[in-house]
Structure 1
Amino acid sequence: MLRKSPTGTWLPCWVPKSTTTVAVLLMLCSIVQSTDSSQTGGYDGSMLNGLNILPSYTDYFNLNAATTGLNTGSVFIGGFFGPIFSGVMADRLGRRPTIFWGCLLTIVGVILQTAAQNIAMFVVARIILGFGSIIAGIASGVYLSETFPSRWRAWGVGLLNDFYYVGALLAAGITLGTGQWQSTWAWRAPSLFQAIFSVLCIILLPFIPESPRWLVHEGFYEEARLAVAQTNADGDLSNPIVLIVYKEILDTLEWEKKEGRSMSPKEIFKTPVARKRLLIGMSAGPFSCVAGNIIASYYLGSELNTAGITNANDQLKANVVLNVWCLGCALAGTHLAAKWGRKSTALLSQSLLVICLFVIGGLSKLYADDPDGASKSLIYGDVAVMFLFQGFYSIAWTPLMYLYPPEVMNYSIRANGLAFSQFALNAFACVLVFVMPIGIENIGWKIYMVNGSWDIIIAVIIAVYWVETKGKTLEEIDAIFEGEKHSAVPDVEAVRKGEATVDTKELEHEVMMETTLMDQKDK
C-alpha cells in the first residue's frame, strides 16, 4: 500500500507503509547510484579499463599515454567542479531533487560520450558525466545517511559504494562481449548502457521519503515526523523510537540555529569544532583515492603488463574475476564496519594495503629485471597479490568513502562538507589518473614503493585522529565533538535494547510544544 506523502519540494512521493519495503527501496537507490557512473559507481572505471585494452577504442582516437590519461581522467574534471554546486543544491533544493538533477546531467553526458567523434567531444562528454554523477553521489550520500535508521545506516550507506563492483562487473562483462565486434560499437555500446542506472534511480525517487533532517530544518515538522515514522516504524507516529529520533533531530537542529550555524559553505571553516569535523570526515575521500587502487581501477592492463600478463583477452577476463572478488570483500568490509567499527576496519585494511604494495613492487622488479626468464610462479604470484590488494582496499575504503564523512559532520556542514571531501578526492584523482600511466611507463615497479610509503602515513593519521561512529544516530555523534548531546532523550539503541525507557505521553507533549514554538519562530 502506497501513501502520498508531502515532501516540501516539487518532487512528490508515494511511500510504502512497510518500513522494510522503504528500507529495501532506499537500498535499491543506494545500489543503483553505486552501480552508476564515475564517482559513485564502478561501471565507468571498469568500462574504461576494458576500453583502454580494446584496439577498436585506442585506434579510433589514436591514443598515446597522455591522451589515454586525458580521456580517462577527464571525468574527474567534472567531478572536481561538481562539489562546488552539489552541497548548496542539496541544502536549498532538497536531497531528492538534487539527486534527480544529477542523474539527468549524467544521462546527457553518457549520450554525448556514446556519440563522440573525436577526443575533444569524448572529453567534454566525460566532464559533464563526472559533473552530474558527483552531484547525484554527494546528494545520495547525505540523503541516505540522514534517512536510514542508525541500526541500518552502515549497510544502507555502505552499499552506496559497495555495488561499485557490480557496475564494474557488468562493464567488464559487456566490454568482454563487445570487444570482438569489428566496429566502433565495440566501445560505444558499453558507453550507452551506462545511462540505465541513472534512469532507474529517477524511477525510484518518487517512492522514497525526503530526508527528515532537511524537512525539520526547512520548517516542515509534520512531514519530517512522518518520514521518521515511515523509515522506523511502519508509519506509526506514536512509536517510542520514532518520538526519540524525531526529538533528537528537533533539539539538535534548534541548538544549531541558536548557535548561529548557517548553511553557508563558509560554515565548514567557521569554528575549531567545524574544522576538526571537516578534516576528519573529509579525509576518507582523499585517503581512498591515494591508497593505490587507481592503478587497477583504470589501468589494469598496464598493471598486468608489469606482471607479464600481456594478452588483451586474458586481461579482460582478469578484469571480470577481479570485480567478483572485490564485491565479496566490500560486502565483508561493510559487515565489519557495522559490527566492529569504522576506525578499526580502516586500520586493518590500510595495514594490509601497505604490505601488498611493497610485495607487488618487489615481484614486479624481479619480472622487470628478467622478463624473458621470469617463471610462471613469479608472474601468477604477482597477479595474486594485485588481486589481494584490490580486495583489501575494498574491505574499508569502498564502504567508508560515503559512510564515514556524513556521520562525522553535523547537519549545518554535512552537505558542503561531503562536497568538500569529494572536491579533494577529485583533485587528487584528476592528477593521479593522468600521471599513473606516465609513472608506470617511466618508473615501472617503483610506483608501488612510492604508493606504499605514503600509505603508512595515512595509517598513522587514522590511528591518531579518527573517531568511532558505530551504533549512534547522527545527533548522538555530536557528543564526541561537542562534549555533550544536544537532546535530553535517551540514546536510541539503549531504548531499542531495553536498557532505557521513555514516557511516550510526556515526550509527545514536549514534541508538540517544541514544534509549535519553532513554527512560530519560523513565521
Structure 2
Amino acid sequence: MIKIGNLYLIAAISVIGGGLFGFDISSMSAIISTQPYLCQFDEQGINPDNGLCQGPTPNTQGGITAAMPGGSWLGALVSGIVSDRFGRKTSIQVGSVIWVIGSIICCASVNIPMLIVGRVINGFSVGICSAQVPVYITEMAPPSKRGRLVGMQQWAITWGIMIMFFICYGCSYISGAGAFRVPWGLQMIPAILLFLGLLVMPESPRWLAKKDRWEEAKDVLTLVHSKGNPNSAFVAKELAEIREVVEFERRNADVSIFELFSPRVINRTHIGVFTQIWSQLTGMNVMMYYITYVFTMAGLGSNVLLPSAIQFIINVCLTVPALIWMDAWGRRPTLLVGAFFMCLWMCINAGLFAVYSRPPVPEDHFTTPSESMAISGAPAKAVIASTYLFVASYAPTWGPVSWTYPPELYPLRLRGKAVSLATSANWAFNFALAYFVPPAFENITWKVYVLFAVFLFAMFWHVFFLFPETANKPLEEVEAIFDYSAPGSIKLIGTPAWKTHNDRSIIRQERDMVSSEEKIGSAEHKDSM
C-alpha cells in the first residue's frame, strides 16, 4: 500500500483527532442558549416572565458539558496501554470509530441521560486521540519542526471550534430539534476522514523500533526524512540514536506506570501533568464552552452567536504565529508571556463586572440562572474586548505549547503512558471546570474571574522556576536536562529550569545536513547515468 511521507501532510491528517475536540466545544457552546435545545432538555419549565423554555438547571448543564471531558479522562488513561500495544496510528483509528458511535447517540438523544451517555462516549474518543496524536507526531518529526507540527493539533482544535460554530449558527435557523441534531450528526464526518486518512500513513518509527521491527522503522525514517534515500546520513544517525535508547531502556528498566512516580522520573511527570492542568486553569475552555453566557450578560442578547464567533476566528488566526515561530521562540518564554497577559485580561474582566454589573431583571430576558450579572454601556464593550484579548493571548502560547511540551519530556519507554497520564489530568480538570462554571456564575458571579486570575499568577511562577526549555533538542538529548548525579540518586532535578535555553543552532545543522545529502544524492544520480 502507498504510504504518505510528507511530514506536513501526515500532521494535517492526524491532527483531525484534535479537531474532534474543537467540534465538541462549539457544538455545545453554540447550542446551549438556543430554544430548541432548552425545550428538548428542559427541567425548569417555561419562564413566566418571557414565555421561554429555561432548559436544564445550572448543575445539570454543568454535568452535560462535563460528560465529554469526563469520558476523555478515562480515554486518555487507557490510550497509553492501547498505544504501546497496538501502535500510535492504530490507537488514533480506534478513537475515530468510537467518536462516530458517540455522535450517533448524541444526534438521536431524546432526553438528558441519553445525551450524557453519547457525550461520555465522544469524550472517550477525544481522550485517546488528544493523548496519542501529539505522541505520534513527536516521534515522527525532526527536532527543528517538532513544535510546529505538534502545535498543529491546537490549530486543528481551533478550526474544529470555528467550523462547528458556524454550522450551529446556520442550523439555529432550523425550527425544532433539527437545530441541534444536524450539527451533532455532521460531526461524524471528520472522524470518518481521520480513519480513512490514517490507512495510508506510516506507523511511528520509534514504536516500530521498540517492537524490534527495525527494517520497518528504517523504511519509515527513509520515507519521511530523506525522500526515499536509504543511504541518508541523517536517517542513519537518527536510527542509531533510537537503537541506543531502546537497548539502554531494555537493559535498565521494564515499562511500568509506577516508574512515572519514581524519584528519577517524578519531576518530569509533575511538569507534564501540570502543563496540561494549567492549560485548563487558564480558563480558556470555560470561555469557549460558556461564551454565550458571558456575552449575554454583556448585553448582546439574541445577537450573541455572531459576536461569539469572532473569538473563534481570533483563535484560529492567532494560533498561526506559534506554528511558524514556536520553535524559534522556545517553550518557556511562550508559556510565560501567555500566562502574564491572560492574568491581566482576567483581572480587567473581574474589575469591570465587580464595579459596573447589576443583578438581572426580567427585561434582560436572560434564560438561565448562570447569567447572573448584567453590564451595559462602555464597561460591557470593555468586557467583550478584554475577552477577545484573552483569546488572542492564549492562542499563540498555552494553546499549542500545552500539546507540544509534554511528549518532549519523556524517554521512549515511558512516553505513551506518560503523555496519556498528563492528558488525563487535562481532562480531569476540564471535567471539573465544565461542571463548576454554571453554578459558579450563579453563586459567586464576578469572583469566577478572580479565581482564574490567581491560577494564572501561580502558573507564571511555576513555569519560571520548574519548566525547562526543550525546543530544538533531539528527544534522545532531552534526557541531559534531567541528568542525575549518580545511579540511585534521589535528586529531583538536574539543570535548573531557568538556566536551560533554546539551542537554535540545531535548525541550521539539520538544514546543512539535508542540503549536503541532497547535493551528494544528485551527484551520485548523475554518476550512475
TM bin, normalised by shorter chain, reads: 0.7 to 0.9
**Structure 2 vs 1, CA of residues 349 and 370 (structure 1 numbering), >3 Å: closer, same or farther?**
same
The Cα shift of 1:230 comes to 1.1
Mapped partners of 1:85, 1:173: distance in 2: 33
Q: 2:3 aligns with which of 7, 11, 15?
A: 15
Which AA in structure 2 matches 1:58? L
Listed as ranges, the gaps of 5+ residues in structure 1 are: 5-13, 485-490, 504-523
In the TM superposition, 1:441-520 aligns within 5 A as: 441-482=442-483, 493=507, 495-498=509-512
The Cα shift of 1:113 comes to 0.6
Q: Is the 8 A contact 1:33 1:137 kept in 2?
A: yes
Q: 1:53 aligns with which of 33, 36, 41?
A: 33
Which AA in structure 1 matches 2:62? G
List per-residue Cα deviations over 1:131-164 (Å, max 9, x = no partner). 1121122121211110122222111110112221
SS of corresponding position for 1:439: helix
**Structure 2 vs 1, CA of residues 211 and 376 (structure 1 numbering), >3 Å: closer, same or farther?**
same
Q: Is the 8 A contact 1:308 1:371 kept in 2?
A: no
In the TM superposition, 1:346-495 aligns within 5 A as: 346-369=335-358, 376-482=377-483, 493=507, 495=509
Which AA in structure 2 matches 1:267? E
Which AA in structure 1 matches 2:26? S
Which AA in structure 2 matches 1:228? L
In the alignment, what sits opposite 2:527?
none
Q: 1:102 aligns with which of 77, 89, 95?
A: 95
The Cα shift of 1:306 comes to 3.3
Mapped partners of 2:148, 2:209: distance in 1: 25
Mapped partners of 1:182, 1:496: distance in 2: 57
**Structure 2 vs 1, CA of residues 494 and 328 (structure 1 numbering), >3 Å: closer, same or farther?**
closer
Q: 1:334 aligns with which of 298, 306, 323?
A: 323
User: Which deviates more, 475-484 or 343-352?
Assistant: 475-484
**Structure 2 vs 1, CA of residues 436 and 500 (structure 1 numbering), >3 Å: closer, same or farther?**
closer
**Structure 2 vs 1, CA of residues 375 and 48 (structure 1 numbering), >3 Å: closer, same or farther?**
closer
In the TM superposition, 1:108-507 aligns within 5 A as: 108-260=101-253, 262-270=254-262, 272-309=263-300, 311-312=301-302, 314-369=303-358, 376-482=377-483, 493=507, 495-498=509-512
Mapped partners of 1:176, 1:426: distance in 2: 27
Q: 1:84 aligns with which of 72, 77, 88?
A: 77
Mapped partners of 1:370, 1:222: distance in 2: 68
List per-residue Cα deviations over 1:34-82 (Å, max 9, x = no partner). 222xxxx311111100111111001110012111111111111211211
Mapped partners of 2:356, 2:14: distance in 1: 42
Q: Is the 8 A contact 2:69 2:431 kept in 1?
A: yes
Mapped partners of 2:31, 2:272: distance in 1: 34
The Cα shift of 1:469 comes to 1.0
Which AA in structure 2 matches 1:232? H
List per-residue Cα deviations over 1:442-500 (Å, max 9, x = no partner). 1211110121012111110000000111112211211211369xxxxxx9657425599
**Structure 2 vs 1, CA of residues 84 and 124 (structure 1 numbering), >3 Å: closer, same or farther?**
same
Check if 1:69 corresponds to 2:49: no
Mapped partners of 1:107, 1:195: distance in 2: 5
Q: Is the 8 A contact 2:88 2:136 kept in 1?
A: yes
Q: Is the 8 A contact 1:302 1:440 kept in 2?
A: no
**Structure 2 vs 1, CA of residues 84 and 417 (structure 1 numbering), >3 Å: closer, same or farther?**
same
Mapped partners of 1:127, 1:500: distance in 2: 46
List per-residue Cα deviations over 1:270-291 (Å, max 9, x = no partner). 3x23111111122211010011
**Structure 2 vs 1, CA of residues 447 and 477 (structure 1 numbering), >3 Å: closer, same or farther?**
same
Mapped partners of 2:184, 2:264: distance in 1: 44
Mapped partners of 2:390, 2:423: distance in 1: 23
Mapped partners of 1:282, 1:181: distance in 2: 42
Mapped partners of 1:173, 1:225: distance in 2: 44
Q: Is the 8 A contact 1:30 1:157 kept in 2?
A: no
**Structure 2 vs 1, CA of residues 61 and 382 (structure 1 numbering), >3 Å: closer, same or farther?**
same
Mapped partners of 1:473, 1:383: distance in 2: 42
Mapped partners of 2:473, 2:252: distance in 1: 23
Which AA in structure 2 matches 1:290? L
Mapped partners of 1:222, 1:492: distance in 2: 27
Which AA in structure 2 matches 1:51? I
Q: 1:32 aligns with which of 3, 7, 16?
A: 16
Q: Is the 8 A contact 2:36 2:176 kept in 1?
A: yes
Mapped partners of 1:294, 1:281: distance in 2: 19
Mapped partners of 1:68, 1:43: distance in 2: 18
Mapped partners of 2:271, 2:338: distance in 1: 18
Would you say how many aligned residue pairs link Structure 1 and Structure 2? Answer: 473
Which AA in structure 2 matches 1:266? F
Which AA in structure 2 matches 1:392? S
The Cα shift of 1:294 comes to 2.9
Mapped partners of 1:84, 1:294: distance in 2: 21
> Structure 1 vs Structure 2: percent identity of aligned residues?
25
Mapped partners of 2:358, 2:173: distance in 1: 34
The Cα shift of 1:297 comes to 1.2
Listed as ranges, the gaps of 5+ residues in structure 2 are: 43-55, 362-373, 486-504, 518-529
Which AA in structure 2 matches 1:401? S
Which AA in structure 2 matches 1:333? A
Which AA in structure 2 matches 1:463? F
